[in-house]
């Protein structure tokens, strides 16, 4: 029963997607499949082409080369990085969730319960905290009953606690709704500590798979080596050394000032 999945079994099939802008290659022969109930985290340094790839996955742009295929019946829910509300625009959460789409009141109520924003429905959008706003954006993405959720660094502007809560909510929705998730993340620490599939992009797909195999990939190390090293520096065994060093430094600084 382990027959290869054919192209039509995937929600999204990307084959040799190439994007060239002003003579510069942004994406080079990227191939990627998103199957039912996949959870893929896309990582890559700034300028790696992550957002461009997302825009093509959403079919907002037509490819320079290669192709992007959507399975018929595919519905994508999209959560952008952030939304900045101009204070001159009066907009409550409820109005925002119903503008340009047709959700009923009861659908809205059950969605709001799922994403824990019921108490916010009558608040102005401009008054929300970063975490609340991201949950509202997530709610809007879920309103179209998507089978694929695409999130572009959804927790970038949240504090550590808020990030954790948001990712937990995504996990719960992924399990309860049985949908597929493709998420861009900058947060290596969280990504590498989970067991989800990771795709590392740097103009082309450098490596993909489980975090521990990706972490050993030479290309991953050459791109993220420094960042990973910084992450490792947080762990306790190196802390004592750092502390000593800091102490020394302060001591010197103090004497310098006194003399």
Partner 1 sequence: MSAHILLTTLALALVAGPLGCFVVWRRMAYFGDGLAHSALLGVAIGLVIGVSNQIGMMAIAIIFALSLIWLRAKRVLATDTLLGILAHAALSLGVVAMTLLGAGDIEVHDYLLGSLDAVTQDMAVWVIAGSGLSLGLLMRLWPGLILMTTSEDLAHAEGVHIVRYEFALMVLMGVVVAASIQLVGILLITSLLIIPASTARLFARSPEAMAIGGSAIASLCMLIGLPLAQNFQLATGPVIVCVSVASFMLVLMARLATRKG
Q: Which of 137, 158, 183, 223 binds partner 1 (CB under 8 A)?
A: 137
- Could you tell me which stretch among 19-27, 62-70, 79-87, 163-171 binds partner 1 (CB under 8 A)? 79-87
Residue 53 in contact with partner 1, rule: CB under 8 A: no
Nearest alpha carbon to residue 186 among 159, 234, 214, 152: 152
- Could you tell me which stretch among 29-37, 95-103, 113-121, 190-198 binds partner 1 (CB under 8 A)? 95-103
Range 160-169 contact pairs with CB under 8 angstroms and sequence separation of 24 or more: 162/130, 162/131, 162/134, 163/187, 163/190, 164/190, 165/131, 166/131, 166/134, 166/135, 169/115, 169/116, 169/135, 169/138
Residue 81 in contact with partner 1, rule: CB under 8 A: yes
Q: Which of 60, 210, 232, 253 binds partner 1 (CB under 8 A)?
A: 60
> Which of 150, 173 has the CB closer to partner 1?
150
Residue 74 in contact with partner 1, rule: CB under 8 A: no
Could you tell me if residue 37 is left (phi over 0), alpha (psi between -120 and 50 degrees) or otherwise beta? Answer: left
Residue 24 in contact with partner 1, rule: CB under 8 A: no
Q: For partner 1, how many residues bind (rule: CB under 8 A)?
A: 23
**Closest distance to partner 1 from the beta carbon of 34 (Å):** 16
Could you tell me if residue 203 is left (phi over 0), alpha (psi between -120 and 50 degrees) or otherwise beta? Answer: left
**Closest distance to partner 1 from the beta carbon of 85 (Å):** 7
Q: Which two tokens stand for residue 112?
A: 């709001």
Site for partner 1 in 97-116 (CB under 8 A): 99-101
**Closest distance to partner 1 from the beta carbon of 166 (Å):** 17
Contact predicate 98/108, CB 8 Å: yes
CB atoms within 10 A of CB 72: 6
- Sign of the dihedral defined by the CA atoms of residues 176, 188, 150, 205, in that order: negative
Nearest alpha carbon to residue 147 among 2, 10, 1: 10
Residue 58 in contact with partner 1, rule: CB under 8 A: yes
Q: Which of 28, 66, 74, 83 binds partner 1 (CB under 8 A)?
A: 83
Contacts with partner 1 by CB under 8 A lie at: 58, 60, 76, 78, 80-81, 83, 85-86, 88-92, 95-96, 99-101, 124-125, 137, 140
């Amino acid at each position: 029963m382990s027959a290869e999945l054919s192209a039509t079994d995937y929600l999204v099939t990307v084959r040799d997607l190439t994007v060239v802008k002003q003579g510069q290659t942004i994406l080079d022969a990227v191939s990627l499949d998103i199957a039912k109930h996949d959870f893929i985290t896309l990582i890559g340094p700034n300028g790696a082409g992550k957002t461009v790839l997302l825009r093509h996955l959403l079919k907002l742009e037509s490819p320079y080369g290669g192709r992007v295929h959507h399975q018929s019946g595919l519905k994508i829910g999209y959560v952008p990085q952030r939304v900045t509300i101009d204070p001159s625009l009066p907009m409550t959460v409820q109005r925002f969730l119903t503008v340009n789409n047709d959700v009923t009141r009861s659908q809205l109520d059950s969605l709001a319960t799922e994403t824990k924003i019921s108490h916010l429905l009558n608040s102005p959008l401009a008054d929300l905290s970063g975490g609340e706003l991201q949950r509202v954006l997530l709610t809007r993405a879920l309103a179209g009953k998507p089978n694929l959720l695409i999130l572009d660094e959804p927790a970038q502007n949240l504090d550590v606690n808020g990030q954790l809560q948001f990712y937990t909510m995504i996990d719960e929705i992924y399990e309860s709704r049985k949908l597929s998730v493709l998420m861009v993340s900058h947060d290596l620490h969280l990504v590498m500590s989970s067991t989800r599939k990771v795709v590392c992009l740097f103009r082309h797909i450098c490596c993909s798979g489980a975090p521990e195999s990706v972490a050993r990939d030479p290309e991953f190390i050459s791109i993220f080596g420094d960042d990973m090293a910084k992450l490792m520096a947080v762990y306790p065994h190196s802390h004592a050394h750092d502390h000593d060093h800091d102490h020394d430094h302060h001591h010197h600084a103090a004497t310098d000032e006194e003399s």
